[in-house]
Amino acid sequence: MAYLDNSATTRTDNQVVRVMVDVMNNIYGNPASLHGLGAKAERLVTQAREATARTLGVSPGEIVFTSGGTEGNNTAIKGVAFQYRDRGRHLITTQVEHPSVYGVCKQLEEWGWRVTYLPVDAHGRVRPADVEKAVTDETVLVTVMHVNNEVGTIQPIAEIGALLKRHPKVLFHVDAVQAFGKVDVRPKEWGVDLMTLSGHKFHGPKGVGCLYVREGVSLAPLLTGGGQEGGLRSGTHNVPGIAGFAKAALLAKERQPEAVRRWARWKASLIEQVMSRVEGARVNGDPSPEGSAPHIVSFSFPGLRSEVIVHALEEENVFVSSKSACSSKGEKPSRILLAMGLDPAAAVGSIRISMGYHTTEEEVERCAQALCKVVPRLQKIMT
């Protein structure tokens, strides 16, 4: 079998599982309890927080554990919008964000905020100058993803951060869910105020992630209650999840340099085989190795429907995604690909292949062969 849907989710790493099992068996106290068992769990969470902070180059006090990417993005965007609603009600984002950002923006629009959705170029990249041009006195937040989940394009986060330094009242949020462990992530250096991570994208457990909140940034919390996580995220700590998350983050940091080299090689080979052997195939996003995350490849096969390709590949024991897993059940062509200027036929016939730390060369090879076999066959039937 070839599992190449790692941007949807990854297999939990054995080392992470072992940590979590150990924690569930032995460190079951509630970190908020006063007694020794609670204190022990609290110290574990503290150490997990320190480990996580190290991987991002930030302070432990700047890490808020969440239930994952969607919660992180909601907390960041709504948190800023609500906190600064009297300062201004304008947000800036792009047309290619993940639904957990895009949907929040749409919701805020219903509630009276104004949102600018910046266009992207044919590679799916927003222009930093456009971001700055869109800033008004009313703007409280700019939110831009780091690596696009459908095509892998890397956004110019450092440049946007540098431009926004001239607008100290505008906060900068980055959805780095697809970036961490795959490309370098430097929130401090880049002037990022808020950054979302999710554990299960890098072989950690599902249902746990973290939000980096730069010291000095205030947010209105979405979940209020017992005051956990500095009052930013009430709710009993997911202690085994948090421990597993921190472990996965450390492993990702350690594995990234080596994995990146492998992925880049395999990605190039996959593209080369498909482009030379499948008529009409195109690569979506930025084709250059610098402009695109090394673990994601997006192909379009105009005339075909992505769902059909996914199922045909599944028959070959190759597991890939139509667009992002969260939206693949919808009928409509990908909003992201349309924003990049693809015509609807190409946007409908796109698939995403995504690698993880466990991916092997054989899997990628198998996928290349399956694509070269399946797609021409389907093309014959459909045309």
Partner 1 sequence: MGYDVLLIRYGELALKGKNRSDFEDRLLRNIRNKLKDFPDVKVKKTYGRMLVELNGQAYPPVVERLQEVFGVVGVSPAKRVPTELQALQQAAVALIREQPTQPATFKIAAKRSIKSFPHKSMELNHLIGGYVLKNVDGIKVDVHQPEITVHVEVRAEAAYVYGDDIPGPGGLPVGASGRVALLLSGGIDSPVAGYLALKRGAELQAIHFHSYPFTSERAKQKVIDLAQILTRYGGKIRLHVVPFTEIQTQIRQKCEESYSVTVMRRMMFRIAERIAHKEKALALVTGENLGQVASQTLESMYTINHVIRMPVLRPVVGMDKQEIMNIAKRIGTYETSILPYEDCCTVFLPKSPKTRPDLNATERTESNLDVERLVQEAVDATEVLDLSPDKREEEFTFF
Burial class (CB in 10 A: 0-12, 13-18, 19+), 376: middle
The reply to whether 1 sits near partner 1 by the rule CB under 8 A is no
- Token pair 């792009």 in the structure block, residue: 94
Which segment (15-23, 304-312, 326-334, 372-380) binds partner 1 by CB under 8 A? 15-23
The reply to whether 381 sits near partner 1 by the rule CB under 8 A is no
Which segment (37-45, 182-190, 279-287, 295-303) binds partner 1 by CB under 8 A? 37-45
CA–CA dist 360, 347 (Å, integer):
28
Residue 250 beta carbon to partner 1: minimum distance, rounded to whole angstroms: 6
Residue 67 beta carbon to partner 1: minimum distance, rounded to whole angstroms: 21
The reply to whether 34 sits near partner 1 by the rule CB under 8 A is yes
Q: Which two tokens stand for residue 369?
A: 């062969």
Task: Tell me which of 217, 250, 275, 345 binds partner 1, using CB under 8 A.
Answer: 250
The reply to whether 22 sits near partner 1 by the rule CB under 8 A is yes
Residue ranges of alpha helices (H) inside the chain are 14-26, 36-56, 69-83, 99-110, 128-134, 157-164, 187-190, 239-277, 306-315, 335-339, 344-348, 361-382
Q: Which two tokens stand for residue 319?
A: 């597991």
Q: Which two tokens stand for residue 234?
A: 């009430």
Amino acid present at 137: D
Torsion, Cα 63 20 199 212, to 10 degrees, reads: 0
Q: How many CB atoms lie within 10 A of CB 19?
A: 22
Residue 185 beta carbon to partner 1: minimum distance, rounded to whole angstroms: 19
In the bound state with partner 1, the residue whose beta carbon lies nearer, of 39 and 382, is: 39
CA–CA dist 110, 103 (Å, integer):
11
Residues 204-223 that bind partner 1 (CB under 8 A): none
Closest CA to 159 of 181, 127, 185: 127
Q: Please, are residues 171 and 142 in contact by the beta-carbon 8 Å criterion? A: yes
Residue 252 beta carbon to partner 1: minimum distance, rounded to whole angstroms: 13
Number of H helices, E strands in the chain: 12, 12
Q: Which residues contact 189 (CB under 8 A, 6 or more apart)?
A: 57, 158
The reply to whether 246 sits near partner 1 by the rule CB under 8 A is yes
Q: Please, are residues 76 and 173 in contact by the beta-carbon 8 Å criterion? A: yes
In the bound state with partner 1, the residue whose beta carbon lies nearer, of 55 and 284, is: 55
The answer to whether 372 is a known catalytic residue is: no
Which segment (46-54, 120-128, 260-268, 321-329) binds partner 1 by CB under 8 A? 46-54
The reply to whether 326 sits near partner 1 by the rule CB under 8 A is no
Q: How many residues bind partner 1 (CB under 8 A)?
A: 19
Task: Tell me which of 13, 42, 150, 363 binds partner 1, using CB under 8 A.
Answer: 42
In the bound state with partner 1, the residue whose beta carbon lies nearer, of 240 and 285, is: 240
The reply to whether 243 sits near partner 1 by the rule CB under 8 A is yes
The reply to whether 36 sits near partner 1 by the rule CB under 8 A is yes
Q: Which of 105, 210, 326, 372 is catalytic?
A: 326
Task: Tell me which of 2, 8, 51, 342 binds partner 1, using CB under 8 A.
Answer: 51
The reply to whether 40 sits near partner 1 by the rule CB under 8 A is yes
Task: Tell me which of 28, 32, 57, 61 binds partner 1, using CB under 8 A.
Answer: 61
The reply to whether 372 sits near partner 1 by the rule CB under 8 A is no
The reply to whether 32 sits near partner 1 by the rule CB under 8 A is no
Residues 143-202 that bind partner 1 (CB under 8 A): none
b/e burial code for range 243-282 (CB count within 10 A of at least 16 → b): bbbbbbbbbbbebbeebbebbeebbeebbebbeeebeebb
In the bound state with partner 1, the residue whose beta carbon lies nearer, of 23 and 160, is: 23
CA–CA dist 351, 371 (Å, integer):
11
The reply to whether 19 sits near partner 1 by the rule CB under 8 A is yes
The reply to whether 353 sits near partner 1 by the rule CB under 8 A is no
CA–CA dist 57, 47 (Å, integer):
15
Q: Which residues are catalytic?
A: 326
Residues that bind partner 1 (CB under 8 A): 19, 22-23, 34, 36, 39-40, 42-44, 47-48, 50-51, 61, 243, 246-247, 250
